[in-house]
Structure 1
Amino acid sequence: MKKLNSASQIPLYHQLKQVIIGDIESGKYKIGEQLPTEIELCENYSVSRITVRRAISDLVNEKILYRKQGKGTFVSESKIERELISIGSFSDITTQSGKEPSTQILETQIKKPTKELCNVLKISSDQDILELKRLLSINGKPFIIETSHYPISRFPNLETYISSNQSIYKILRENYGVEIVKAEKTLDVKLSNPEQSEIFECDANSVLYLLKKTAFDKKDEVVHVSNSLFLASKVTFTFTVKE
């Protein structure tokens, strides 16, 4: 057990933070593993409870640790980077990054479009749309709750081709000859509702990224619109600008 130096100018809580980070990096505490209790940490490092609480709070704020109400403090996963301006499908992008994608269909509905969807998809209010809600996971852990809308007039029987662990973009290419070449995206934030918190296995009112996307084909026609929810503590969005 590494000893803290009470004579150092470096505050004890900061020393304890570095020790815990070092233990995580060395594999002593693994991703998802629970840390010792506050009392155990006090005894292990001969420090006060105030010192332990300050160190743990800082690490939680830095997303290195996370708390589960009534259960304790756990080691967070490292954030997944996602290119904000990418065009490819979730399956393709995830596989290229060396991770394992999987998909669970949460709900499919044939319904009438809202006025906003009519305007974006260029359809009339009496035409049906397919609403597809999916849970997209990486290495078996929930990553995105995605709700997409497709015009049935352009993609008849689309719902019959859809199955878990199959790329929608691949279905569009192979069955309808449609290729996504451009997407317009906006990024916002919201707080998780009870259903979303349960799916993401996170605390109530956790911060979520809301990514709204409109996808276009080679003729610059709208193919679909989607809303994707990401747990903010699990993802970092990046973008590349080329001159």
Structure 2
Amino acid sequence: MEKLNTASQIPLYHQLKQIIIEDVESGKYEVGEQLPTEIELCDYYSVSRITVRRAISDLVDEKVLYRKQGKGTFVSEAKIERELISIGSFSDITTESGKEPSTQILGTKIKKPSKELCKLLTISRDEDVLELRRLLSINDEPFIIETSHYPISRFPNLETYITSNQSTYKILRENYDVEIVKAEKTLDVKLSNPEQSEIFECDTNSVLYLLKKTAFDKKDEVVHVSNSLFLASKVTFTFTVKE
């Protein structure tokens, strides 16, 4: 076990950070592996808990490590890159990247739209909308909490077609002859609430990306609007501009 140099001008927490980084890079701690507890690290390196916490917190901020609420600290994997201006379905994009997508339906309900939804979907307050909440995972790791709204007048009985193992965009193509060809998106950040933190297995108030999307068909009519939440430590958004 490598000891820290108490005579060095380099702070102990920084020395500990470097040791952990080297251990990750050498493969001593593999991606997804849990680190020893704070108490164990204190014993290993003969340092205070404050020193260990400072080192771990810095490494979490730097995305080398991540915390699972109530479980411990783990080694992060490389961030998943997501093309910000893509319009393909989650299933198609994930499969094309060589990873395994999966979907869990968190809830569906028919409800009256808010004033904002009426404006986005160009419908009246008297019309119903389908609210679909899903958890989208990659290789069994939670990746997106998505909430989408569809106008029932245009997609009657849509809720009866929704399943955990089929792309919603595929359902729209095969059952309603509707294909998404354009999407307008805005990207924001927010902090996770307790429910979102439990789903993502992260600390409460972790940084999330909030991606708001309005999807259009070939007739330039709105098909649906959605809000998607991503754990910021797990994804990097990219975009390509062509001259």
**Does TM-score exceed 0.5, indicating one fold?**
yes
Q: For 2:232, give the aligned amino acid.
A: A
1:162 & 1:57 partners in 2: Cα distance? 41
1:59 aligns with 2:59: yes
C-alpha offsets along residues 55-79 of structure 1, whole Å, 9 cap, x if unaligned?
Answer: 3232122021134566543222332
Task: Give matches, 1:110-129, under 5 Å.
Answer: 110-129=110-129
3-state DSSP of counterpart to 2:36: coil
Aligned to 1:27: 27
3-state DSSP of counterpart to 1:94: helix
Task: Give matches, 1:8-87, under 5 Å.
Answer: 13-45=13-45, 52-68=52-68, 71-87=71-87
TM-score, L = length of structure 1: 0.88
Gap runs ≥5 in structure 1: none
Q: For 2:189, give the aligned amino acid.
A: V
Q: Against the structure 1 CA distance between its residues 56 and 116, is the aligned structure 2 distance closer, same or farther, given a 3 Å change threshold?
A: closer
Aligned to 1:180: 180
1:51 & 1:120 partners in 2: Cα distance? 50
Identity rate, percent? 88
Q: Against the structure 1 CA distance between its residues 57 and 129, is the aligned structure 2 distance closer, same or farther, given a 3 Å change threshold?
A: closer
Aligned to 1:168: 168
Q: Against the structure 1 CA distance between its residues 124 and 205, is the aligned structure 2 distance closer, same or farther, given a 3 Å change threshold?
A: same
1:7 & 1:204 partners in 2: Cα distance? 38
Q: Against the structure 1 CA distance between its residues 69 and 108, is the aligned structure 2 distance closer, same or farther, given a 3 Å change threshold?
A: closer
1:229 & 1:70 partners in 2: Cα distance? 22
Superposition RMSD in Å: 2.3
Question: Offset of 1:21 from its aligned partner?
Answer: 1.9
Q: For 1:99, give the aligned amino acid.
A: K
Q: Against the structure 1 CA distance between its residues 111 and 60, is the aligned structure 2 distance closer, same or farther, given a 3 Å change threshold?
A: same
Q: For 2:171, give the aligned amino acid.
A: I
Q: Against the structure 1 CA distance between its residues 221 and 40, is the aligned structure 2 distance closer, same or farther, given a 3 Å change threshold?
A: same
C-alpha offsets along residues 139-160 of structure 1, whole Å, 9 cap, x if unaligned?
Answer: 1111111111111111121111
1:151 & 1:40 partners in 2: Cα distance? 55
Count of aligned pairs between the two proteins: 243
Question: Offset of 1:3 from its aligned partner?
Answer: 5.9
Question: Offset of 1:138 from its aligned partner?
Answer: 0.7
Q: Against the structure 1 CA distance between its residues 2 and 102, is the aligned structure 2 distance closer, same or farther, given a 3 Å change threshold?
A: same
C-alpha offsets along residues 149-204 of structure 1, whole Å, 9 cap, x if unaligned?
Answer: 11111112111111002101111111111111110011111222222122111112
1:151 aligns with 2:145: no
Question: Offset of 1:135 from its aligned partner?
Answer: 0.8
1:179 & 1:209 partners in 2: Cα distance? 26
Q: Is the 8 A contact 2:69 2:198 kept in 1?
A: no
Aligned to 2:138: 138
Q: For 1:32, give the aligned amino acid.
A: G
Question: Offset of 1:49 from its aligned partner?
Answer: 5.7
Gap runs ≥5 in structure 2: none
TM-score, L = length of structure 2: 0.88
C-alpha offsets along residues 75-119 of structure 1, whole Å, 9 cap, x if unaligned?
Answer: 223321111111100001111111110001111111221222122
Segment drifting more, 85-94 vs 5-14: 5-14
